[in-house]
Amino acid sequence: MSVSPSLNPHVSVDCVIFGFSKETLRLLLIKRTVPNAITELDDSYYALPGDLVRDNENLDEAAARVLKELTGLTGIFLQQFQAFGDPLRISKAKDRAWLQGVRQDPDARVITVAYMALIDSNQVQIQPGSFSKEAVWLPIAEIPELGFDHNDISEGALLALREKVQIQPIAFELLPEKFTMSDLQTLYETILERDLDKRNFRRKMLNSGVITALPEKQHGVSNKPARYYVFNRNLVENGGLGFVNLKMEGSFTLFS
């Protein structure tokens, strides 16, 4: 299979797509389609979704295209966090075998620009593309060896996520439209990998102004029904609220 002339053979984008379900932070990975019966590839050849950049699009547009083709979603949280350009990033035999089946110039050095995306994994229908036969959500703790340098890229994205959720209200992108305070705290604790004081977390979140309580409460639960909240997206995006600062300095702190 030859690569389209409209694709730049030296620049690509890779997307680290985070989701959250069953109190677990997950990563969306694809299984590469094995072209032309390449036997060097086994059924566990996972990689991050990505593609070469088209000549008529910028980097953000390329990343958004990859996400739309895979998830059908537009307008989701998508942020560039790092570029990767190690000359040996395509040196593994398995990667080279795959490239020989899908690239016109499999030996070309490719610089990739990595993006982090956050989506509600429970509300998306995955649509594997031409280079992927399957897409799966895997817990962060169970990520296998990935193609190319994608383990380094995904680890870099996780570090970036942990830093950003402490200073910007982006974690809400991983939750459904309405959520309980317990849902929110569990999400932060999962991302940051540490326990947070329940009373302090609740007080700081409410005082920050980034969430609003709804009159609605849980139904059909055995314990005391918890109140639902929503993220004040319009206020945050229109500058009505300052950035949330959740920097971890000994104890949990938050201010707007």
Q: What is the pLDDT of residues 208-255, one digit of tens each?
A: 888 999 999 888 777 788 999 999 887 666 655 544 455 544 444 443
Tell me the sheet residues that pair with 235: none
Check whether 145 has a pLDDT greater than 70: yes
Q: How far is CA 209 from CA 80, 145, 180, 230, 255, in A?
A: 27, 41, 16, 11, 9
Q: What is the pLDDT of residues 27-43, one digit of tens each?
A: 999 987 655 545 555 55
Going from N- to C-terminal start, the domains of the chain cover 7-156, 171-252
| Residue linked to tokens 């995306």 | 117
pTM of the model: 0.85
Res. 124 pLDDT band, cuts 50 70 90: confident
- Fold of the domain built from segment(s) 7-156: Nucleoside Triphosphate Pyrophosphohydrolase (3.90.79)
Mean pLDDT of the chain: 83
Check whether 113 has a pLDDT greater than 70: yes
- Fold of the domain built from segment(s) 171-252: Arc Repressor Mutant, subunit A (1.10.10)
Buried b (16+ CB within 10 A) or exposed e, 189-223: ebbbeeebeeeebeebbeebbbbeeeeeeeeeeee
Segment 79-104 shows an average pLDDT of 82
Segment 14-39 shows an average pLDDT of 83
Check whether 256 has a pLDDT greater than 50: no
Res. 130 pLDDT band, cuts 50 70 90: low
**Looking at this protein, which amino acid is placed at residue 137?**
W
pLDDT for position 118: 96
Segment 42-66 shows an average pLDDT of 89
pLDDT for position 236: 65
- Same CATH topology for 7-156 and 171-252? no
Segment 80-99 shows an average pLDDT of 84
The pLDDT > 90 percentage for the chain reads 52
Q: Which helix (H) or strand (E) holds 48?
A: none
Measured in degrees and rounded to the nearest 5, phi and psi for residue 192 equal -85, -10
Least confident of 153-157, 192-196, 217-221, 247-251: 247-251
